[in-house]
Amino acid sequence: MNNDIIYMDNHATTPIAPEVLAAMMPYLTTNFGNASSIHPFGVAAMDAVEKARLQVAELLGCSAEEVIFTSGATESDNLAVRGIAYACREKGNHIITSTAEHHAILDTCHTLATEGFETTYLPVDKYGRVSPDDVEAAITPRTILMSFMYANNEVGTINPIADIAAVAAKHGVPFHSDAVQGIGQLPSEMESLGVDLASLTAHKIYGPKGIGALYIRRDAPRPQSIFHGGGQEDGVRPGTLNVAGIVGLGAACELAKNYMKTGKNCVATLRDALHLKLTARLGDIHLNGHPEQRLPGNLNLCFTGVQSHALLMGLKSVAVSTGSACDSESVKASHVLVAMGIPNELALTAVRFGLGRYNTAEEVEIVADEVIKVVSRLRELSGN
């Protein structure tokens, strides 16, 4: 890996914090026991798992019994939506979500349609937010679940989760939130957010990939397991526990809790400095997402006239993301930007800067200079 490249794609994934790696190492080497074994190797592994569960619970302000370990947020989202749909099938078949959700939610709802479940996909406003009034209007006597993300992974917009939770509670509808991008960066206490279930993943908070959790409030309906096997994780998520990963998730949660007290504003300050410099030196920039209600490290910009893929190819020392996906035949605009009403042509110019814990003011200067240089050159070439 080229260490000269400045990493600003922390919504895609984050590097493992050194403290997290150090906590994991014994469980990748000498302490390799299966947490289900009853000999000392197994007991040591299970002790580590339970300590990590407490660390996760402390960040979420919940009790350890309310945390189920999974392989990441895709699995947590699938388990929450499909598991609640199956568990509540007797009561109804209607789910409510939004058009700006992650594909782990959208595609799960799409596939449930083949099994007789119906989903209402609510629109979002121009910032990417769901309206609690729209949520209330969409509820029917057959509604068994609603799922809305805490903060959007592309544009960083924060949903009014507590207000939506109040609507859900008023109508007695279980409320799941894909809270992957918010947990560890925004207030993370489940009780104050008011959600019944929430998905999180370690690799967005400086932990390892392939490990996550699902918070299930004590008095919420229990998702029906979508896997069959041993009885681990209370039977909700059977399978041999990923002890090293779980230890890493626990350590990452503890670090995040401490970091939120001190570091959050630093990231937002760097992000704003980057935005300011780009706006001052380049015209025709459009900020995607809410100007205030957004993740501290998120800066999603459209550079009019410059295709995001061309810009990324031109950036030699910066790692950022486009707001579009390539398939073999075409480049498709992000479904989130389209849902926000951004015209297709403009959406294809979107670039996501995801600043994180380890970025510095010096890096912001270098990134800004390089982006200004490449955008100016591409605009010149295309006559814009």
Ligand X SMILES: Cc1ncc(COP(=O)(O)O)c(C=O)c1O
Catalytically annotated residue among 109, 253, 266, 326: 326
What is the enclosing helix (H) or strand (E) of 223? none
Residue 156 is a binding residue for ligand X (CB under 6 A): no
Distance CA 12, CA 22 (A): 23
Beta carbon of residue 319, minimum distance to ligand X (angstroms, whole number): 15
Q: List the one residue from 10, 14, 74, 321 that touches ligand X (CB under 6 A).
A: 74
188 neighbors 55 (Cβ within 8 angstroms): no
- Choose between 299 and 306: whose C-beta lies nearer to ligand X: 299
Q: List the one residue from 17, 27, 72, 217 that touches ligand X (CB under 6 A).
A: 72
230 neighbors 237 (Cβ within 8 angstroms): no
Q: List the one residue from 35, 49, 56, 73 that touches ligand X (CB under 6 A).
A: 73
- Choose between 80 and 149: whose C-beta lies nearer to ligand X: 149
Q: Which of the 8 DSSP states describes residue 73?
A: H
Q: In the chain, where does DSSP find H-type helix?
A: 18-28, 40-60, 73-87, 103-112, 132-138, 161-171, 190-193, 243-262, 264-281, 308-314, 335-339, 344-347, 361-381
- Choose between 194 and 354: whose C-beta lies nearer to ligand X: 354
325 neighbors 337 (Cβ within 8 angstroms): no
Handedness of CA 300, 303, 305, 309 (dihedral sign): negative
Q: List the one residue from 149, 306, 368, 375 that touches ligand X (CB under 6 A).
A: 149
Residue 323 is a binding residue for ligand X (CB under 6 A): no
Residue 122 is a binding residue for ligand X (CB under 6 A): no
Q: Clarify whether 326 is annotated catalytic.
A: yes
Residue 147 is a binding residue for ligand X (CB under 6 A): no
Q: List the one residue from 81, 180, 299, 337 that touches ligand X (CB under 6 A).
A: 180
Q: List the one residue from 201, 242, 288, 324 that touches ligand X (CB under 6 A).
A: 201
Distance CA 384, CA 255 (A): 46
Catalytic residues: 326
Binding site for ligand X (CB under 6 A): 72-74, 77, 102, 104, 149, 153, 178, 180-181, 201, 212
